[in-house]
Amino acid sequence: MEITLKHLQLSYRSRKKRQLFIKKTVAAVSAVILIAVGLIITFIMGQTTDEAEDSVEAMNRNFIMEEDNTQNTEDRIRVCIDAGHGGSDCGAEYQGSYEKDQVLAIAKLVQQQLQSSGIEVVMTRSTDVFLGLDERTEICNNASCDLLVSIHRNFYVGDTSVRGFEAWIHSSKPQDAYELADYIMKELSGIEGVKDRGIKTGSMTDSEEDYRVNRDSKCTSCLLELGFMSNSIDTELVTVNKEEVAKAIADGIRSYLDTVTVKK
């Protein structure tokens, strides 16, 4: 089922507004109770009227600060970065180099780039550990992430000339996922030497059978294939120039967030 970006945004904002209203209500009730207790204590201890007013004002300031902190937390964008494979699952292997290591290095650099912009990042893995496909989407969903970007590398048997970067989205072609992938691919294709293979739906084996991260994540998502390990040009881009590639991915994510309203 295709969900329009407008409907997604309305549902998302509505849910977050309800959650924020509940939190504010609870905080307001707590503040009233604290103020009442403070006045009672003030009366019992025989404080002057000025001292009592100072106590109430102090408690009001604390309440306002707590409310502001809640608002800041609710407004924060949260992005999940998924480094494919890991641990006993090495992914593709070529000339002694493993996909799991290359994508983790890129993922960590993307994390640094996003965090420098004040974006909260949830990593499915930050070390060489094995994670099942269900675990990856559970991490993303449990953290209520706004976006999920899964990072992988490709491989072609028998022809080392095949190369290029590509993005994969859900087979239903959701507009939000397409736009996210498009922003990222535009940034990547701006790097000298990168061949843009476009945005694809489903998976390599079946255009109607989705990658698990796109199928089961509850947020906007895409899967990136950062070139072919079997091609020397692509591999140099992802290893020697990995900082540039990571910045392009982060810039694409930032451009999407700047253009599309997903703020809570």
| Residue 148 within a domain | yes
| Residue 264 within a domain | no
Question: What's the total number of domains in the chain?
Answer: 2
Q: Tell me the C-alpha to C-alpha distance, in Å, between residue 201 and each of 64, 173, 185, 206, 214.
A: 47, 7, 14, 9, 10
What pLDDT is attached to residue 74?
54
User: Are 59 and 96 found together in one domain?
Assistant: no
**Of 41, 74, 107, which residue constitutes the final position of a domain?**
74
Q: What is the CATH number of the domain that holds 92?
A: 3.40.630.40
What pLDDT is attached to residue 76?
80
What pLDDT is attached to residue 148?
98
Q: Tell me the C-alpha to C-alpha distance, in Å, between residue 119 and each of 75, 115, 135, 161.
A: 10, 5, 23, 38
Q: Which domain holds residue 154?
A: 77-259
| Residue 51 within a domain | yes
| Residue 36 within a domain | yes
What pLDDT is attached to residue 4?
39
CA diameter of the chain: 89
Q: In angstroms, what is the C-alpha Rg of the chain?
A: 24
User: Are 162 and 203 found together in one domain?
Assistant: yes
User: Are 147 and 126 found together in one domain?
Assistant: yes
What pLDDT is attached to residue 1?
37
User: Are 225 and 117 found together in one domain?
Assistant: yes
Distance of CA 103 to the CA centre of its chain: 16
Q: Tell me the C-alpha to C-alpha distance, in Å, between residue 259 and each of 120, 176, 230, 256.
A: 18, 11, 36, 5
User: Are 68 and 84 found together in one domain?
Assistant: no
User: Are 116 and 218 found together in one domain?
Assistant: yes
What pLDDT is attached to residue 264?
47
Structure tokens at 3: 């969900």
**Calpha distance 20→15 (Å, rounded):** 9
Query: Is the pTM for the entire model greater than 0.75?
Result: no
Each of the 264 residues of the chain gets a pLDDT tens digit; together they read 333 334 434 444 444 445 545 555 555 555 545 545 554 544 445 544 444 444 444 444 343 334 444 445 556 899 999 999 999 999 999 999 999 999 999 999 999 999 999 999 999 999 999 999 999 999 999 999 999 999 999 999 999 999 999 999 999 999 999 999 999 999 999 999 999 999 999 999 999 999 999 999 999 999 999 999 999 999 999 999 999 999 999 999 999 999 886 544
**Of 45, 74, 103, which residue constitutes the final position of a domain?**
74
Residues 104, 237 contacting (CB under 8 angstroms): no
Q: If you search the block for the tokens 């040009």, which residue do you land on?
A: 233
What pLDDT is attached to residue 243?
98
